Structure 1
Amino acid sequence: MPRLVDHDRRRAELGEAAVRVILREGLAGVTVRGVAAEAGWSTGSLRHYFGNQHELQAYVVRAATDVLRLRVLPRVQRPRTQGSVVERIATIVEEMLPLDAERREEYVLWSAIVEWERRHPPEGGSVTWSDQRALYRQCVAAMRGYESIREPDQATLPHPDAQVELWAALLHTFVDGLAGQIVNTPGEVSADTAAWLLRSLLQAVPRE
Structure 2
Amino acid sequence: MPKIVDPVERRREVVDALFRVVVRDGLQRASLRTVAAEAQLNIGSLRHYFATQEELMRFAMGSMIERVAERLRAAIEEAGDLAVLSAQELLELCARLLGELLPLDERRRGEVTVFLDFAAASRTDPALRDLASQVAVGTREFVGHVLERLEARGALRRGLRLDVETERLSALVDGLAMNAVLHPELVGAYDCLEVVRTHLGALAT
What TM bracket, shorter-length normalisation?
A: 0.7 to 0.9
Counterpart pick for 1:96 among 61, 81, 101: 101
Residue equivalent to 1:152: none
Give the partner amino acid of 1:109. V
User: Deviation string for 1:95-127 (max 9, x for gaps)?
Assistant: 32222323212322332442454333218x722
Residue equivalent to 1:139: 146
Q: Take 1:78 and 1:197, find their aligned partners in 2: how far apart are those partners?
A: 24
Q: Take 1:49 and 1:94, find their aligned partners in 2: how far apart are those partners?
A: 33
User: Deviation string for 1:23-42 (max 9, x for gaps)?
Assistant: 33332232111121122222
Residue equivalent to 1:130: 137
The question of 1:38 aligning with 2:38 is answered yes
> TM-score of the superposition, structure 1-length normalised?
0.72
1:45 to partner: Cα distance: 3.0
Instruction: Using the aligned pairs only, state the percent identity.
Output: 29
Q: Take 2:192 and 2:17, find their aligned partners in 1: how far apart are those partners?
A: 32
Which of the pair is proportionally richer in helix? 2
Q: Take 1:17 and 1:114, find their aligned partners in 2: how far apart are those partners?
A: 19
The question of 1:62 aligning with 2:70 is answered no
Go from structure 1 to structure 2 and tell me whether the alpha carbon gap of 1:112 and 1:66 turns closer, same or farther (over 3 Å shift): farther
Q: Take 2:76 and 2:24, find their aligned partners in 1: how far apart are those partners?
A: 26
Q: Take 2:7 and 2:56, find their aligned partners in 1: how far apart are those partners?
A: 15
Q: How does 1:146-165 map onto structure 2 within 5 Å?
A: 163-165=161-163
Residue equivalent to 2:192: 194
Name the Cα RMSD after superposition.
Answer: 3.4
The question of 1:121 aligning with 2:126 is answered no
Q: Take 1:48 and 1:88, find their aligned partners in 2: how far apart are those partners?
A: 42
The question of 1:167 aligning with 2:199 is answered no
Q: Which runs of 5+ in 1 are unaligned?
A: 148-160
Counterpart pick for 1:106 among 68, 92, 111: 111
Residue equivalent to 2:179: 181
**Contact 1:61 1:112 (8 Å CA) reproduced:** no
Go from structure 1 to structure 2 and tell me whether the alpha carbon gap of 1:73 and 1:29 turns closer, same or farther (over 3 Å shift): farther
> TM-score of the superposition, structure 2-length normalised?
0.73
Go from structure 1 to structure 2 and tell me whether the alpha carbon gap of 1:82 and 1:29 turns closer, same or farther (over 3 Å shift): farther
Go from structure 1 to structure 2 and tell me whether the alpha carbon gap of 1:199 and 1:78 turns closer, same or farther (over 3 Å shift): same
Bigger RCO (CA 8 Å, 6+ sep): 2
**Contact 1:31 1:56 (8 Å CA) reproduced:** no
The more displaced of 125-134 and 164-173 is 125-134
Q: Take 2:29 and 2:200, find their aligned partners in 1: how far apart are those partners?
A: 38
1:6 to partner: Cα distance: 5.5
